[in-house]
Structure 1
Amino acid sequence: MLEITGLGGLIVLALDIWAIVSIIGSSASTGKKVLWVLLVLILPILGFIIWLIAGPRNRSGMA
């Protein structure tokens, strides 16, 4: 089993926090937001990757 410690753990934590903040700020419904946040919290690395590929996006953002 892969154990992430030190700097790697801090990087994963920072990316997960960024993902959660982005999920909460998205235009998705509350139920979808809760499911995405739970996915990122339960599976930190895999959940982040899945969110990065298929997660809700902030529609009113940087256009």
Structure 2
Amino acid sequence: MNNNQQDIETAKQVALYFRRGQKEMNEITDQIKSSVSKWQKLAGDIGISRAEQMLMAEAFRL
């Protein structure tokens, strides 16, 4: 990938530059995936319309 597009695999590949081991990086990405996977339910719970959720869906893709 040659752009700044969000990508968890890219984050994992650069983990060593930030002095993070593979195990720690996997734990961090698992936490992120768990949190982000719930975004649409939470958005609905606080009243964000389905149309607005669709506009933001790309920002929360896993």
Pick the TM interval, shorter chain.
0.3 to 0.5
TM-score by length of 1: 0.46
Larger RCO (CA within 8 A; separation ≥ 6): 1
Radius of gyration: which is bigger? 2
